Structure 1
């Protein structure tokens, strides 16, 4: 009979997965709370609960964030792809020119900044050539995922599993060990995307101009006349913050553009007040003496592109999640005002301040001059700055090339086994500081602390699964139902279970949950744990069937105008292709 701890952990893990699927709270909060629960009940010791925070894989991921941030800052990747995509607008040729270098790049860099950088570039190219971006954005995400499977540092999942192996007293993976599988599945995956996958994608005409044109539906302009009773009074005194269904975004005063509008801003005769929200609720304003409706067509934004309209996707780890906009202090925190919120390709028609934000929401914002100076990287991903980016000076580009050189040197030292990956990355980061390529404050900003907390907390979950016998129980179930069909069926089952988990929760959590189960199976079947660890790492990364399984899928969800079924239609075949290629190679290279 099992002890009570077994049933408690089994039930808690099931509840945790349900909360992750339904997005009750942010993933790191859900997983960390589960670890704290195990700590309070005595299932985990304090050392076991926090052990993940000192894990080599977690620390390596943190260092990679800094190096990727230094490269991203230089805009070298953006400049390269801007030059690369020039040419005739042939979809297949464009996909080949785009996806081939992307897979190579994502083998050595964090794929999230790659997708963030290229999404607006692709959308502008599509608009210029009258091609739907929905034909290209999912392939962009998938290509970065595939490329990440080629090297140890290509994806955080590989590093997490590497760290788990090291904790077990093994040497872990070598730098290019994943290439045995990563290169074949990348080649096959690209062929699928270029010749078949893009045909399965919808032809949604989602462009930057169409997004701005939609302002006509939810922006109105009000002129402040001489008769208005609150001339010389503040916005707060005029009670313009508590209008039903409307939100004051900007004030146009002669040539001055006030965005965002503070509560203390004083109103003057001739001001043009720009409101966003449900335009059908204008009656309160129209009945106010001295306020005259100019238009509800948003012509100011349409005719003044320099007013910095920006689109952004709310991230999985945003501090804005599950909060109403009015409770986030958005204007003061980001120096921006939200004009509209889109969710699942639909405009949310309610008062802006009352909208509770969720991961994947698209925010259309009017931003102030200091917007780009603020730290917004953890909260949302910029996907289509409507105005051109400012030019990057030569010194910044030079620092970018130095960053790439340091990355290349680090890869060489790790490949030659002169240094371990964590030592090499640590040395590279120190050099970035010494050469003043980045500052300590910038480094702190580049590190995605929420991701590290999620991964480190997940280690405690893995310990609880192993310690209470849950891993053994699941391992016995897998072996009992597949052993009669041979080892191939067993490793296929491990891949399938891991892949299902990664599609509905996070990739790193899926890896940490499945690793102890795979390790138990290797012990019981007297197999080398390395090939089963490879199976878990690849399966946890290969998230193609849902927009929630991998953050790059979420980034392109709104900009491509996709629905959930689009990911199923294109992603399931790629999931199956990747699964069978991976399991076949593992079986014949390591096990047969």
Structure 2
């Protein structure tokens, strides 16, 4: 064993300690590995920074931008809304719908983004169905993981493994080469969750906390109008965009120029042009109403004359009406807010019960809270003395709900085009993905600024920093040393045994360190093992791929598991119990299926 190999193994050991302990973030750990390899002379500077130009890194970046473009146009949120409508009171039916939709979405959109959007949806489903949210979140995460593993563009890990394999002379995996295996695993997961897993995820009522999605129940009163050309005209309130939920409730519908007809929302029938709706909603829903082209908040007149780009610069803030305010005992319709306050009221909230009167008729009282849209800095005499600002709504919180729904069909068409070009082998996925990114920018599905702000750069730096480790393992001969030891241990055994061992090792390692890090460590070794055993390397690489994407043992084994861990009020043992048995089942399936499907 040379000094270089000893030095490299020390760096690998240090990286494993940092990955496992979480003392610093995984992307920073990856950069430390890259710098250490160059500083010690194991790699040249060109080799050390090669991860930034690697096709896996650049393809992942392109796909992250495509995912953000889909999210920006509301495509993922639309799937979430469909999910809410399709679920019912039956727990097993609800689980099937959740797992099917999340797995399908994760096959084409970044898995982490899908789960992030769907977590609040799980709370909506739990509230409407009475199903414990702990029963829903783990199946959501597990299904998204398998969905991502089922296509080559589903996760960054798949792209990384594909690129590593190609660098060692393996054939390129096509987009749907993994789908049959992934489909079998998904069907197994669904049956497991219906008959076993969901029962182990249930909490005693005293154990399950009531955790909201951060936006609370409907507590603001506002007033909206259905403008000419709205897609809501001749549509029913029930089951539509304005259907009653905990976050939004239509209290009353007023019809006619003089408001002569007033209906309860359940008696309104079809919506008509110029209908006025008295609505109670929380801030999140108000932001969505504010940016919905099919409705207009009556007091927020300024928005009808500004562009989408200008809307993003608008400030939202909450103000508390103070004693001796000039607003007290005045109706909202009688106040020239823009002249005296340089802002418009979007909604009002009282400490007590909000009635169903029109917002414009609301008489302002001491202690009322107004949600304002405009200049949050108290520049006028009146804004300095009539209220105090109690909260400014963070700009990123506003922008999360500024979906470009008019571009939804365009963004979906672009993604389908990227997939079609890659599947038909007309263009490599790298080129087709970047063509898709360029079209996303040109069609304004997403802006460059939003891409810079929202793309998960951690993944990009993690890949760029950790890829050189594979080069170092090969350059120093460390991969051959480890592979020869494995070959000696497994000499005389069947290829199936080797596949089984690698899948299990990958699953266990991914339970404590990043799945990308596990892949970078094991892929070069697996290829060396295949060479030593004179067997094709593809089954071993596939075993690592699925093992890295289906580690359900711990909440830290995969990002989506960590995301649902807190909101679901889970314990570490919940994952070990539910995920542990599932890992054993998947291990048996992988041992049987991978040699038959990929050898």
State the match for 1:229 in structure 2: none
State the match for 2:438 in structure 1: 430
Q: Does 1:81 align with 2:93?
A: no
1:499/1:307 CA distance change after superposition, 3 Å: farther
State the match for 2:321 in structure 1: 255
State the match for 1:107 in structure 2: 107
State the match for 2:142 in structure 1: 142
Give the whole-Å Cα distance in 2 for the aligned partners of 1:411 and 1:458: 27
Mapping 1:380-395, distance limit 5 Å = none
Give the whole-Å Cα distance in 1 for the aligned partners of 2:598 and 2:129: 48
Per-residue Cα deviation, 1:175-215 (whole angstroms, up to 9, x for no partner): 111113111111112211222111111325332469999xx
State the match for 2:58 in structure 1: 59
Cα offset for 1:119?
A: 0.6
Give the whole-Å Cα distance in 2 for the aligned partners of 1:483 and 1:399: 58
Secondary structure at 2:149 match in 1: coil
State the match for 1:207 in structure 2: 210
State the match for 2:45 in structure 1: 46
Q: Does 1:372 align with 2:396?
A: yes
Give the whole-Å Cα distance in 1 for the aligned partners of 2:213 and 2:65: 36
Cα offset for 1:569?
A: 0.7
Q: Does 1:10 align with 2:13?
A: no
More divergent stretch after superposition (565-574 vs 485-494): 485-494
> Is residue 50–residue 460 contact of structure 1 (8 Å, CA) maintained in 2?
yes
Cα offset for 1:63?
A: 0.5
Cα offset for 1:543?
A: 2.0
Give the whole-Å Cα distance in 2 for the aligned partners of 1:373 and 1:494: 43
Give the whole-Å Cα distance in 1 for the aligned partners of 2:397 and 2:526: 46
1:523/1:429 CA distance change after superposition, 3 Å: same
Give the whole-Å Cα distance in 2 for the aligned partners of 1:178 and 1:487: 20
Secondary structure at 1:29 match in 2: helix
Give the whole-Å Cα distance in 2 for the aligned partners of 1:169 and 1:410: 25
> Is residue 58–residue 163 contact of structure 1 (8 Å, CA) maintained in 2?
no
Secondary structure at 1:7 match in 2: helix
Mapping 1:331-370, distance limit 5 Å = 368-370=392-394
Q: Does 1:133 align with 2:133?
A: yes
> Is residue 320–residue 370 contact of structure 2 (8 Å, CA) maintained in 1?
no
Give the whole-Å Cα distance in 2 for the aligned partners of 1:431 and 1:397: 16
TM-score (norm 2): 0.69
Secondary structure at 1:89 match in 2: coil
Cα offset for 1:522?
A: 1.3
Cα offset for 1:374?
A: 7.7
State the match for 1:517 in structure 2: 525
Q: Does 1:98 align with 2:89?
A: no
> Is residue 318–residue 369 contact of structure 2 (8 Å, CA) maintained in 1?
no
> Is residue 211–residue 567 contact of structure 2 (8 Å, CA) maintained in 1?
no
Mapping 1:217-232, distance limit 5 Å = none
1:306/1:50 CA distance change after superposition, 3 Å: farther
Give the whole-Å Cα distance in 1 for the aligned partners of 2:57 and 2:488: 34
Give the whole-Å Cα distance in 1 for the aligned partners of 2:188 and 2:475: 39
Cα offset for 1:586?
A: 1.7
Cα offset for 1:487?
A: 1.6
Cα offset for 1:302?
A: 12
Give the CA RMSD over aligned residues.
2.9
Cα offset for 1:373?
A: 5.7
Cα offset for 1:168?
A: 2.4
Give the whole-Å Cα distance in 1 for the aligned partners of 2:504 and 2:138: 22
Cα offset for 1:62?
A: 0.2
Cα offset for 1:71?
A: 0.9
1:512/1:306 CA distance change after superposition, 3 Å: farther
Give the whole-Å Cα distance in 1 for the aligned partners of 2:490 and 2:352: 62
Cα offset for 1:398?
A: 2.6
> Is residue 510–residue 518 contact of structure 2 (8 Å, CA) maintained in 1?
yes
Give the whole-Å Cα distance in 2 for the aligned partners of 1:468 and 1:135: 48
Secondary structure at 1:85 match in 2: helix
Give the whole-Å Cα distance in 1 for the aligned partners of 2:200 and 2:22: 28
State the match for 1:175 in structure 2: 175
> Is residue 65–residue 446 contact of structure 1 (8 Å, CA) maintained in 2?
no
Secondary structure at 2:108 match in 1: coil
Q: Runs (4+) of structure 1 moved beyond 3 Å?
A: 208-213, 251-254, 299-308
> Is residue 512–residue 557 contact of structure 2 (8 Å, CA) maintained in 1?
yes
Give the whole-Å Cα distance in 2 for the aligned partners of 1:54 and 1:70: 23
State the match for 1:189 in structure 2: 189
Q: 1:397 aligns with which of 405, 408, 412?
A: 405
1:400/1:206 CA distance change after superposition, 3 Å: farther
State the match for 2:469 in structure 1: 461
Per-residue Cα deviation, 1:118-151 (whole angstroms, up to 9, x for no partner): 1111112212333210111011000000111111
State the match for 2:21 in structure 1: 22
Secondary structure at 1:438 match in 2: coil
> Is residue 466–residue 516 contact of structure 1 (8 Å, CA) maintained in 2?
yes
Number of residues of Structure 1 aligned to a counterpart in Structure 2:
442
Cα offset for 1:306?
A: 8.2
Cα offset for 1:80?
A: 3.1
Secondary structure at 2:49 match in 1: helix
> Is residue 494–residue 535 contact of structure 1 (8 Å, CA) maintained in 2?
yes
State the match for 2:535 in structure 1: 527
